[in-house]
């Protein structure tokens, strides 16, 4: 019996190979997209899960009135460990984006992220050097480089013994010891070029120095909410005891699980999480559309199998046997679709990896596909096949053998309803894509308040600050050397560049104390970036006090402190009474998602970071010439930095702020294209079924005088109505979704009407073209051929 059913199934599939190809092809495309989404979702949600303490690790954060941060004072870690027995271990970590040059003879390595951790943090986070984790003695540190970095410096090294290396320029004379190699787990929140492990960190720090991240390993079954409250009370008590803060009511602490850190940290950006949710939803919807296609076409084909069902029922077949037979047929098609989907996914995977900056592999044993795909195969077989199988197996033998068979009204409404649902999803995708395009166009064309074009950011190791500060030098000699190069318009240095994160400190003015952003700059900073002055003046070397206690603030800071006439007023921070000499217009240094923060700019800040970020504005016509000169003369211009001249264009760095949204744009473009393609495939086959079923009606109308245009209008009418209904249903949903997405931007467009109009025009036009092309053969056919048996 099985052999007979298999032959019947294969013959039916071959007989209707056009519909079969559409069924399998549409499902394969949707499955390929779904496979890629599953792999990406699995990758993104499994960061650090290799850590045996994964479920019990938390980071301690602080909430201020203006923001949340994971940077806290080192003494808090010791206080937590001493006061709360449910805390098994507490460790400190600090990172650095400072680019350090390490040399071994002619081999040079530029490290962008050396992670500094104490021994406890290394144990908590499962950071293990290849030679094993050792506790350094006293104040010594053990520095390890990642395996990849060690290969760059020591390409022929076979052992794991310590090595002597040089730091900085080749003539700096600074050397150090690399203790060995350490594996850099790319599937972790803690990526690094190297790790420096200390026995303890922050021993001499106080509660005014928020420079570390505290990680806690809790004992199993700990009441996290209760502990969070106890830490909050402890922190406030410690602040009052240290006399660093008198008003602690507005300050609180929180615990953030390690599981949150990658996608949705409490103190950070959850854009990656939103992208993942959007991507997962799109993948599921595309698969749903393909299943709808499958169901629709299977129901449409039901009439052709009526006599087969009637004969089998007369011969004694039970309904469950027929249902099983049809499910097996659908399973065979789904199985072929899965195989094709794997092939398509493998072809698309390199582009997908490039878009999302990941290294996924279909054939990796740990990606879960080996158990997920069989499960998905069974699920889609059931979802796409159960209703058509029940319809086919439910035909009554007496009626179908007389030729009086048709699918029920319920099937008619289901087919049309599913088709409407397909186009609803397609319309939502089209509107979303067009809205995303409009917002990105707005972001690219809107005036951000400064000019990044023709500004070169030079990577630098020299520390520039107040010359009286230990280890720092004056920037002025270097600026003069660069200004002597023909084509250089201006040069400056600062603690931070636009597109990065600014520092935060407490400043008081006009009776108000608040945490605001600060940037320590040098002369010509505002001129180099073409930042607009609202009132007062910029820093100038003509005024000696600018090096001592002058400040420039932005419009948001003016509003924050309620200044009416800010120029000449005093703002106090870092132990200095700054005189405000100018107010600049707000500029979007953090992009469009974050509102411009109140910011103060100073030249002298004893508590600020070192100025290391060199920016040079160059004439456009002489860019290549100036860069070549800087490269050849860099060891003389900036001796401490040496011969390693490295640069990036500031506009490219700032453009990275748009990366996530550009990814979303690419995802929606692919999703909209796939959805429309699959929907049109289904519509094409469905239109063929409808026109074939109405072939005699079309013949009669032609005999009675109807012309081709009238018949085309007749056939298109029902499809036109369904697509119009799909648009009307989709518009409110698309409006809500795009509104919620736009609300994630501090600076955004109003929801435009054009995407809604275009979605209707696109879907209606595609529907008319698809149905008309499919109906053309029926309309052009000779009426005699359709009516000769009547």
Tell whether 698 is covered by a domain.
no
Domain coverage including residue 549:
462-641
* Mean of pLDDT values over 134-159: 87
536 token code pair: 């007062």
Give pLDDT tens digits for 723-749: 899 999 999 999 998 998 888 888 999
Give pLDDT tens digits for 388-432: 666 666 666 655 555 544 554 555 676 677 788 888 888 988 998
pLDDT value, residue 67: 81
Mean pLDDT over each residue of the chain, to the nearest integer? 83
Tell whether 761 is covered by a domain.
no
Same domain assignment for residues 292 and 193: no
Q: Give the number of domains in the chain.
A: 3
pLDDT value, residue 579: 93
What is the maximal distance between C-alpha atoms in the chain? 106
Give pLDDT tens digits for 546-557: 888 899 999 999
Measure the CA–CA gap between 680 and 767, rounded to whole angstroms. Answer: 7
165, containing H or E segment: strand 163-167
Q: Tokens 């640069």 label which residue?
A: 647
* Mean of pLDDT values over 22-29: 82
Same domain assignment for residues 355 and 375: yes
Residue 678 has pLDDT above 60, yes or no: yes
User: Of 265, 327, 220, which is closest to residue 69 (Cα–Cα)?
Assistant: 265
Measure the CA–CA gap between 435 and 311, rounded to whole angstroms. Answer: 55
Q: Nearest 5 degrees, angle CA 500-CA 503-CA 507?
A: 145
Same domain assignment for residues 284 and 392: yes
Same domain assignment for residues 192 and 300: no
**Sign of the CA dihedral running 499, 505, 508, 512:** positive
Yes or no: say if 327 and 381 are a contact pair by the CB < 8 Å rule.
Answer: yes
Please state which of the ranges 336-340, 463-467, 517-521, 624-628 shows the lowest mean pLDDT: 463-467
Which of 232, 260, 288 is a domain's end point? 260
* Mean of pLDDT values over 8-31: 75
Helix/strand/coil for 452:
coil
Same domain assignment for residues 123 and 172: yes
How far does CA 425 lie from the centroid of its chain?
22
Tell whether 787 is covered by a domain.
no
Residue 314 has pLDDT above 70, yes or no: no
Which of 363, 390, 407 is a domain's end point? 407
Give pLDDT tens digits for 49-90: 888 899 999 999 998 877 888 888 889 999 999 999 999 999
Same domain assignment for residues 299 and 227: no
What's the start-to-end Cα distance of the chain, in Å? 38
Beta-strand pair 455-459/646-649: antiparallel
Please state which of the ranges 234-238, 348-352, 502-506, 753-757 shows the lowest mean pLDDT: 502-506
Q: Nearest 5 degrees, angle CA 421-CA 426-CA 427?
A: 95
Same domain assignment for residues 169 and 36: no
Tell whether 195 is covered by a domain.
yes
pLDDT value, residue 550: 92
Residue 491: pLDDT band (50, 70, 90) is very high
User: Of 425, 414, 424, 427, which is closest to residue 296 (Cα–Cα)?
Assistant: 414
Same domain assignment for residues 201 and 318: no
Residue 211 has pLDDT above 90, yes or no: no
Beta-strand pair 107-111/613-618: unpaired
pLDDT value, residue 419: 80
pLDDT value, residue 601: 94
Which of 344, 378, 407 is a domain's end point? 407
């Amino acid at each position: 019996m099985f052999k007979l059913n298999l032959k019947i199934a294969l013959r039916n599939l071959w007989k209707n190979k056009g519909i079969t190809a559409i069924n399998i092809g549409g499902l394969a495309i949707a499955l390929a997209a779904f496979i890629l989404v599953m792999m990406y979702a699995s990758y993104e949600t499994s960061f650090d899960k290799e850590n045996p303490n994964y479920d019990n690790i938390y980071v301690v954060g602080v909430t201020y009135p203006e923001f949340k941060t994971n940077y806290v004072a080192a003494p808090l870690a010791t206080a937590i460990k001493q006061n709360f027995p449910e805390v098994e271990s507490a460790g400190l970590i600090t990172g650095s984006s400072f680019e350090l040059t390490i040399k071994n003879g002619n081999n040079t390595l530029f490290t962008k992220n050396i992670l500094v951790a104490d021994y406890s943090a290394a144990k908590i986070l499962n950071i293990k050097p290849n030679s094993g984790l050792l506790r350094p003695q006293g104040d010594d540190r053990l520095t390890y480089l990642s395996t990849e970095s060690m290969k760059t410096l020591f390409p022929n090294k076979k052992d794991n013994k310590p090595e002597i290396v040089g730091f900085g320029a080749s003539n700096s004379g600074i050397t150090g010891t690399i203790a060995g190699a350490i594996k850099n787990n790319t599937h972790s929140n803690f990526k690094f070029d190297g790790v420096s492990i200390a026995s303890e960190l922050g021993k001499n720090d106080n509660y005014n120095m928020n420079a570390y991240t505290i990680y806690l390993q809790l004992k199993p079954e700990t009441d996290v909410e209760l502990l969070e409250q106890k830490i909050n009370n402890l922190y406030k008590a410690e602040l009052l005891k240290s006399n660093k803060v008198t008003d602690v009511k507005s300050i609180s602490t929180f615990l953030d699980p390690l599981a949150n850190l990658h996608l949705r940290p409490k103190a950070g950006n959850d854009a990656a999480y939103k992208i993942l949710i959007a991507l997962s939803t799109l993948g599921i919807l595309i698969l749903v559309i393909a299943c709808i296609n499958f169901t629709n076409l299977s129901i449409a084909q039901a009439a052709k199998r009526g006599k087969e069902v009637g004969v089998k029922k007369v011969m004694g077949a039970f309904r469950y046997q027929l249902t099983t037979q049809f499910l097996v047929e659908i399973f065979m098609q789904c199985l072929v679709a899965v195989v094709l989907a794997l092939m398509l996914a493998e072809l698309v995977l390199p582009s997908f990896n490039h878009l999302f900056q990941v290294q996924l592999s279909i054939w990796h044993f740990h990606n879960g596909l080996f158990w997920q795909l069989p499960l998905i195969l069974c699920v889609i077989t059931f979802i796409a096949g159960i209703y058509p199988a029940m319809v086919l197996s439910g035909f009554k033998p007496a009626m179908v053998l007389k030729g009086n068979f048709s699918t029920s009204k319920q099937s008619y409404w289901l087919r049309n309803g599913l088709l409407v649902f397909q186009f609803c999803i397609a319309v939502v995708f089209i509107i979303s894509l067009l809205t995303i395009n409009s917002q990105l166009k707005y972001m690219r064309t809107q005036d951000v308040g400064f000019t990044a074009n023709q500004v070169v950011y030079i990577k630098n190791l020299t520390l520039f600050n107040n010359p009286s500060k230990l280890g720092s030098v004056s920037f002025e000699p270097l600026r003069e050397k660069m200004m002597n190069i023909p084509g250089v318009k201006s040069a400056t240095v600062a603690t931070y560049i636009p597109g990065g994160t600014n520092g935060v400190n407490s400043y008081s003015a006009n009776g108000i104390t608040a945490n605001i952003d600060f940037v320590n700059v040098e002369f010509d900073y505002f001129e180099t970036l073409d930042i607009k002055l609202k009132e007062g003046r910029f820093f100038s070397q003509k005024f000696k006090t600018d090096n001592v206690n002058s400040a420039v603030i932005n419009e948001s800071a003016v509003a924050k402190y309620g200044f009416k006439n800010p120029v000449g007023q005093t703002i106090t921070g870092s132990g200095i009474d700054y005189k405000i000499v100018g107010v600049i217009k707000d500029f979007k240094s953090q992009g469009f998602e974050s509102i411009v923060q109140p910011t103060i700019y100073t030249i002298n800040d004893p508590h600020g970071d070192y100025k290391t970020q060199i920016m040079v504005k160059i004439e456009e016509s002489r860019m290549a010439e100036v860069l070549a000169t800087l490269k050849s003369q860099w060891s003389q211009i900036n001796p401490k930095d040496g011969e390693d001249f490295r640069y990036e264009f500031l506009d490219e760095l700032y453009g990275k702020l748009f990366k996530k949204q550009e990814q979303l744009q690419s995802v929606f473009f692919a999703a909209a294209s796939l959805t429309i393609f699959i929907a049109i495939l289904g519509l094409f086959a469905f239109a063929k079924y409808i026109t074939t079923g109405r072939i005699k009606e079309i013949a009669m109308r032609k005999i009675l005088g109807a012309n081709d245009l009238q018949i085309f209008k007749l056939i298109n009418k029902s499809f036109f109505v369904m697509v119009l209904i799909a648009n009307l249903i989709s518009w409110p949903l698309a409006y809500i979704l795009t509104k919620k997405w736009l609300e994630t931007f501090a600076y955004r467009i109003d929801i435009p009407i054009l995407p809604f109009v275009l979605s209707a025009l696109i879907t209606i036009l595609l529907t008319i073209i698809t149905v008309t092309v499919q109906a053309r053969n029926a309309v052009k056919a000779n009426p005699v051929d359709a009516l000769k048996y009547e």
